[in-house]
Copies of this chain bind each other. A is one copy, B any other.
Amino acid sequence: MGESLGGLKRTLMCGEFRESHIGQKHVVMGWVQRKRNLGGLVFIDLRDREGLLQVVFGEEINKDAFEKADLVKSEYCIAVEGDLVKRESPNDSMPTGMVELKGQNIKILSESETPPIYIKENLDTDEAIRLKYRFLDLRRPDIQRVFKIRHKTAKVVRDFMDENGFLEIETPMLTKSTPEGARDYLVPSRNYPGMFYALPQSPQLFKQLLMVSGYDKYFQITKCFRDEDLRANRQPEFTQIDMELSFVDMEDIIALNEKLIQKIFKEVTNVEVQLPIQRIAYKEAMDKYGSDKPDLRFGMEINDISEVVKNAEFKVFKDALEIGGSVRAIKVPNSADMGRKQIDKLTEFVKAYKAKGLAWISYKEGEIKSPISKFLKEEEVSGILSKLDAVPGDLILIVADKDSVVLQALGALRLEMAKKLEILKDNKEFKFVWVTEFPLVSYNEEEGRYQAEHHPFTMPMEEDIPYLESDPGKVRAKAYDIVLNGEELGGGSIRIHDTNLQEKMFTVLGFTKESAWERFGFLLDAFRFGPPPHGGLAYGFDRMIMFLSGTDNIKDVIAFPKNQNAYCPLTEAPNVVDKNQLNELGINLQENN
């Protein structure tokens, strides 16, 4: 062993010691979590990736080692040699708590200044400081656990894909703008000054090319990039589990992915996912939950009460029904006592979703209170309660408007009420659902044209193809999202491989032959030569790890994340570069910088 290790060779990791090791001589290396000098003995809690071990030094064990040990401070990196013994006062809260190492020899491998943040579980320090000292933050055992989960998950995925005949194939990072719609990160070219590569938003076109090339089953765990304004839980670079298969239909892809999901959750967190995973059509998801990524861990579904109130003399309801909209309601349990102020807050809440107001009915044993009861006949009020199967204690919340507003507002309100009532507190359930039968296209009012909901290569459902030209908004896609606890975990579709159908699709989307070629040229070129039927799916890997490790902060699952401004406080990237670097690339900075 070299001098730098003090001539020592580590025999076991700190967290691995158990009673079975008692009586053995060992060498451990790690960081000083805590040092105490108690009654002539020095106790050190030594920490490594696998856990903590108590090391004890005393004059009677070894005088030199004792004196040296008394010099160490928190986060010193040390090596200790000694005998493993039974601990006199065991600590049940530590896996190694039955044993300790009697330090006969210590080597200080490196010293540490006082760290600016504590190295402990669930640290509650300002995020800016944590990101600047990320190398210390990453020492926290709870954070290290996340990266063990991340590693394990990737391993499980790769093993599964390999067993199922998939090839992992790397697609380029320096490529051309993709048509996904988000903003690209650009990379100036030196060989072609004035021209730019784009970092990929996804390997979409390349994975379809690989299917045309006959690779049959492709996957990749890979970085993708989007230069968007960062919301919570978005990062400029993120990781995707991406796959594409040939000669399959939607059912094959769903069946395979259910097995994958089951395996991941079983092997990583020991959770049994029951198969098949339930499915819900997009329309039903919107009608019941006001969302295409419904959280099915609780009820409180949206009910359409338009029929019940269709003759009511209440102008708000009347107006909504007249414009072809609807009146819908959710039933909130144990909330009939909610005060006026709180209800006012909920009214403000739904207004953020463009609802004009919020009507309510409080139903208590022998008492029904509502600001709109004066506009409604008694049988209309009881009709509403009956339609919602209301029981005393329920609060009914009602929105009337055009459908899109009603559903969005009540969908958001449903989640808000669940949060307020802490319905999901301590809920450890993983509730999966496939959302299917998405609309193929939607009408973009601003641009006055239809646009692809997924992407322009998504296959329509066979039975809807006849409406492709006559009523595109009615056509459903062979697209599917896998939703977990109200979050989109992944999604995909079967792709069009038929040239005629593809041309029709481009016509619907308002592309000319030229403009389609300009954007998707090389894929269309490839499709001239016998493309196979194919489809795929991609998961947000970071989000998956958030679920598996139980964190709601994406920065916890990325080793070196950026902040909300896409800035890295640790490395200070981005930064300025030399003028001659820019000259090589043929670019100048604009003057106002």
Chain A contacts to B: CB under 8 angstroms: 1-5, 10, 13, 29-32, 47-49, 75-77, 79, 109-113, 115, 134-136, 138-139, 144, 147-148, 150-151, 154-155, 158, 162, 167-177, 183-199, 205-206, 209-210, 212-216, 223, 225, 227, 236-237, 239, 246-251, 459, 462, 478, 494, 497-499, 521-522, 525-533, 558-560, 562, 565-568, 570-577, 581, 583-590, 592-593
Contact = CB atoms under 8 A, between A and B. Distances in A.
Kindly name the residue among A170, A173, A532 whose own CB sees the greatest number of chain B CB atoms within 10 A. A170
16 contacts: A4-B462, A29-B247, A49-B214, A109-B530, A110-B530, A147-B167, A155-B162, A170-B559, A172-B573, A173-B223, A185-B187, A190-B566, A192-B574, A196-B574, A196-B575, A196-B576
Given A4-B494, A193-B590, A198 B573 contact: yes
A125 to B, nearest CB: 15
A170 B577 contact: no
B112 A530 contact: yes
Nearest to A154: B168
A266 B565 CA distance: 48
Contact of A558 (B170, B225, B248): B170
Contacts of A558: 170
A4 B158 contact: no
Contacts of A175: 560, 568, 571, 573
A442 B46 CA distance: 40
Ranked nearest first, the 6 interchain pairs of A and B with the lowest CB-CB distance are A194-B593, A138-B213, A112-B530, A195-B574, A176-B573, A77-B530
Given A199-B173, A587-B587, A571 B5 contact: no
Given A4-B497, A188-B188, A590 B587 contact: yes
A215 to B, nearest CB: 6
Contact of A577 (B177, B248, B576): B177
Given A214-B31, A588-B587, A590-B587, A223 B170 contact: yes
Given A174-B237, A174-B573, A532 B494 contact: no
Nearest to A463: B3
B109 A497 contact: yes
Identical copies in the complex: 2
Contact of A2 (B76, B250, B589): B250
Contacts of A577: 177, 186, 195-196
Given A210-B138, A530-B76, A589 B587 contact: yes
A199 B1 CA distance: 37
Nearest to A72: B530
Contacts of A13: 216
A183 B194 CA distance: 18
Given A2-B494, A110-B497, A214 B144 contact: yes
A529 B113 contact: yes
A3 B176 CA distance: 33
Contacts of A79: 247
B174 A148 contact: no
Given A188-B186, A225-B173, A249-B2, A216 B109 contact: no
Contacts of A171: 559-560
